[in-house]
Amino acid sequence: MKRKTLTDLLWQILLAVFVIVSDRAVKVYIIANCRQGEVFGELPGVADFLYVRNTGAAFSILNDNTALLAFISIVFLIAVVLYKIIRKPKHFMENLAVTLFFAGGLGNAIDRIQYKFVVDFIDLKWFDFPVFNIADIAVVGGAIAAIIFVLFFDKEKKNG
């Protein structure tokens, strides 16, 4: 394996591990130490840390359909891995998108399978928005990276 390829793979693995471990660590702490609906910390003027059990997807879509959402999560993770294997992305933004999609998707899939709900805990004070978690931030970051890649760097789309 070429040195650049190995370096690229290493940062992707480290980023995925960081996202997954930090997401899991916070969620495990919350489950062990907090009651649902409890505010257990805050960033003054920015966000409360509030334990919420989400049985749905983004914005509580498909509430109480945990089995379906777990299945969709697994299909999503398989699709991301197949994309990585088949496409072999080379551009930084494309790899960033794939890595963040995988890490965030896995973080929430683990919740759905293990707990039958997703642990959300970041409640923004300055914007009326659903409570979310680190895995959600990774998925949104992946979407932003994918959009940037497609709009500015995807030569196949520009030439095709």
C-beta of residue 117 within 8 angstroms of C-beta of residue 36: no
Burial class of 53 by CB neighbour count within 10 A (0 to 12, 13 to 18, 19+): middle
Closest CA to 107 of 10, 42, 18, 4: 18
Torsion from C-alpha of 83, 118, 11, 159, nearest 10 degrees: 30
Give catalytic residues, as residue numbers. Answer: 120, 136
Closest CA to 109 of 143, 135, 79: 135
Measured distance CA(113)–CA(109) in Å, rounded: 6
Task: Give the H or E element holding residue 48.
Answer: strand 47-54
